[in-house]
Amino acid sequence: MFTIDTFNLRSPLGEKSGLATSLNNYAAHLSEVGQSEAALEHDRQALEIRRRLAQTRPDRYKPDYASSLNNYAIRLSEVGQSEAALEQAQQSWAIYRLLAAKRPEKFDYDAIKVASSIQFLSWLRDRTAIDCALLKTPPGPARTTCSRPHANHPPRPARPAQR
């Protein structure tokens, strides 16, 4: 399996950005076929690449970093880590708010989209807490889920194989 550790860190920034985009796209496909844990790992790798790029050239790569934060939040939510997902989404929103203040025509939509994700993740966290209280079950270890299966999300149905 490919990891960012095997990627030549001296390669051009554009190549690293393209790799992060590919990792994000692959994570989305993995998620669609129900492989949420693998999707989370690929989005984590993309996030790390984009974090490094944003530190190197914030003017160019900060929007991509904000996008990766939001993608990672979505994957965390899929595996039941609502609180961590909320933190990542809030970081993404903070970046988009700054970007939208300078260029609203380009970044307002992204800021609104992430704000909507934050509202959903907040609702999900609160709903999970209520479900746990009703079931009289403490949240599971290192997650904000009850021990009840699929307390946060029902499993995604697997797509039929394409021929």
Q: What is the pLDDT of residues 96-110, one digit of tens each?
A: 999 999 999 999 888
Domain at 11-135, CATH homologous superfamily: Tetratricopeptide repeat domain (1.25.40.10)
Per-residue pLDDT tens over the stretch 78-135: 998 988 999 999 999 999 999 999 999 999 888 988 888 888 888 877 777 776 767 6
Cβ-based neighbour number of residue 161 at 10 Å: 6
Indicate the domain borders of the chain: 11-135
Half-sphere exposure of 50 toward its Cβ, with a 13 Å CA cutoff? Answer: 27
| Angle subtended at Cα 100 by Cα 96 and Cα 69, rounded to the nearest 5 degrees | 10
